Structure 1
Amino acid sequence: VCAPCHAQFVTPTPRCPRCANPVGALDARRECAACLTLRPAFDATLAGAHYQAPLDQLVLQLKFGGALALAPWFAAVVRDSVLGEPGFVLPDVLCPVPLGPRRLVERGFNQALEVARPLARHLGIPLRPRLAIRAGDTRAQSGVAPDQRGSNIAGAFSVAPDALAFVRGKHVGLVDDVMTSGHTLGELAAVFKRSGAARVSNFVFARTPPR
């Protein structure tokens, strides 16, 4: 990605600190009405860019085209977002959102893990890819109606039994390529909170703007 395109399409945006949806300039660093009403399980979300053209095509190239060389750039964009957030306390550990077994076999890699590896190096945070387990395959959230996404992902995750010591009382960072409705990250955050995590923050390359 050339420097002019980076400057044009990856720009700082006032966002809700909890869900990273865009807000007005006067509301920067204030939680949006949706988060104040619904109170998702995660405590913060940092997003590098909007999920819109042309960056959406890069996400698709990584996820479905195997363009793994894009992952370090995604991680660098997320890193810049994190370092540009005043007073943000880094998590104790990073965990990529796990894929289901069938989808992992089909794809051959987990795009969230490919982004998490360089991000962990950039931030100096331990990466534990097996901190969370996805027991089975759910329908892709992109193919599920918005009002059914919560039920589609419910019960999909658990914390690895031998990883509880890395969760209790800790600040856990979840890494994914895209955050759309937030149900997947919310479900995973809830699992970590029930296992004793003190705080859960999301780190995503792109955030889908609300419709």
Structure 2
Amino acid sequence: MLQRLLNAAIKPDFTLPLRISQCAVCRSWPARQVCAPCIARFAAPVLRCRACALALPADLSMGLRSPPGLCAGCIKQHPPLDATLVAVPYSYPWSELITRYKFGERPGWAPFFAELLLQAPGVQQAFDALQAGDLILPMPLSDQRLQSRGFNQAWELARALARQSGSAAKADACLLLRVKHTRPQTELQRDARLANVRGAFQVDPLRVPVLAGRRVMLVDDVITSGASLFTAAQILRTAGAAHVTGLAIARTAAT
């Protein structure tokens, strides 16, 4: 009986409501959604590709002629992003917490994830570089997915980031549109993912001029292959955006 109680005491509980001041990972008390020691343990900075945020090997002596800070894939074909920044790897405990946020009707986690992102290297500086007229855009959901999920997790995150960063730029949920409902990207291989999102995004035709020469922060929750983010970024560039930075809470280990 005692052992069962001890096991229960240390088992992470990702279903705790936000009103309980207990860490969702280690269950220390009191704490915010995730306590400072757990953040320090599971959100340590990782050397990442500056173009796609894929984790880079610790030994970068694989070729002196390779551009610094780029993974092999981005050396071959640079994505339509000037930079991509993430806070954590898509692994325990973040994968569990993001899933709860995204599918568990928990938009109240957005401010915590925004704060986590703003503590990551380079993120606050990227927001500081935005000026009035620049834009913070969420990756849009299709009407079907928005209806089934109840909210757009990227929009809640973008709003929280705009507020907490103190940026002069404004968050806008209606400029970048999702015009085609597609299969979930997690069900597909990389090549199929690129085909899946082709033609899925569009800039509001009546508002295209607002992008001319502007810097854009494109916000999502998780980057896997990058197919959706890259496709949306290319649409923004074609519409006139001068600089596009991708931003997500987490990045998977490989494409």
> Helix, strand or coil: the match of 1:155?
coil
Q: Say yes or no: does 1:188 pair with 2:232.
A: yes
Quickly say closer, same or farther: Cα 1:63–1:88, change in 2 above 3 A: closer
- Per the TM alignment, residue 167 of structure 1 is displaced from its structure 2 partner at its CA by 0.9
Aligned to 2:73: 34
The separation in 1 between residues aligned to 2:127 and 2:59, in whole angstroms, is 20
Give 1:122's aligned amino acid.
Q
- Per the TM alignment, residue 89 of structure 1 is displaced from its structure 2 partner at its CA by 6.3
Give 2:90's aligned amino acid.
Y
Q: Say yes or no: does 1:118 pair with 2:157.
A: no
Question: What is the CA RMSD across the aligned residues, in angstroms?
Answer: 2.0
Number of equivalenced pairs = 211
Quickly say closer, same or farther: Cα 1:57–1:183, change in 2 above 3 A: same
Q: Say yes or no: does 1:13 pair with 2:52.
A: no
Q: Say yes or no: does 1:206 pair with 2:250.
A: yes
Equivalent positions of 1:24-103 (< 5 A) are 24-25=57-58, 27=60, 30-81=69-120, 83=122, 90-91=129-130, 92-103=134-145
- Per the TM alignment, residue 82 of structure 1 is displaced from its structure 2 partner at its CA by 5.3
> Helix, strand or coil: the match of 1:77?
helix
Quickly say closer, same or farther: Cα 1:51–1:29, change in 2 above 3 A: farther
- Per the TM alignment, residue 94 of structure 1 is displaced from its structure 2 partner at its CA by 0.4
Specify every segment of 5 or more residues in structure 2 that has no aligned partner in the other structure, as ranges.
1-33, 61-66
The separation in 2 between residues aligned to 1:108 and 1:67, in whole angstroms, is 10
TM-score, normalization: structure 2?
A: 0.78
- Structure (1/2) with the larger helix percentage: 1
Query: CA contact under 8 A between 2:113 and 2:249: conserved in structure 1?
Result: yes
The separation in 2 between residues aligned to 1:82 and 1:122, in whole angstroms, is 16
- Per the TM alignment, residue 38 of structure 1 is displaced from its structure 2 partner at its CA by 1.5
Quickly say closer, same or farther: Cα 1:126–1:87, change in 2 above 3 A: closer
> Helix, strand or coil: the match of 2:74?
helix
Quickly say closer, same or farther: Cα 1:90–1:26, change in 2 above 3 A: farther
The separation in 2 between residues aligned to 1:67 and 1:204, in whole angstroms, is 17
Q: Say yes or no: does 1:163 pair with 2:202.
A: no
Query: CA contact under 8 A between 2:47 and 2:56: conserved in structure 1?
Result: yes
Query: CA contact under 8 A between 1:64 and 1:107: conserved in structure 2?
Result: yes
- Which fold has the larger relative contact order, with Cα–Cα distance below 8 Å and residues 6 or more apart in sequence? 1
Quickly say closer, same or farther: Cα 1:169–1:84, change in 2 above 3 A: closer
Q: Which moved more, 1:37-46 or 1:82-91?
A: 82-91
Identity across the alignment (%): 39
Aligned to 2:28: none
Q: Which moved more, 1:74-83 or 1:103-112?
A: 74-83
- Per the TM alignment, residue 142 of structure 1 is displaced from its structure 2 partner at its CA by 0.8
Query: CA contact under 8 A between 1:82 and 1:88: conserved in structure 2?
Result: no
The separation in 1 between residues aligned to 2:68 and 2:172, in whole angstroms, is 29
- Per the TM alignment, residue 69 of structure 1 is displaced from its structure 2 partner at its CA by 2.0
User: Which entry has the higher C-alpha Rg, 1 or 2?
Assistant: 2
Query: CA contact under 8 A between 2:85 and 2:122: conserved in structure 1?
Result: no
Specify every segment of 5 or more residues in structure 1 that has no aligned partner in the other structure, as ranges.
none
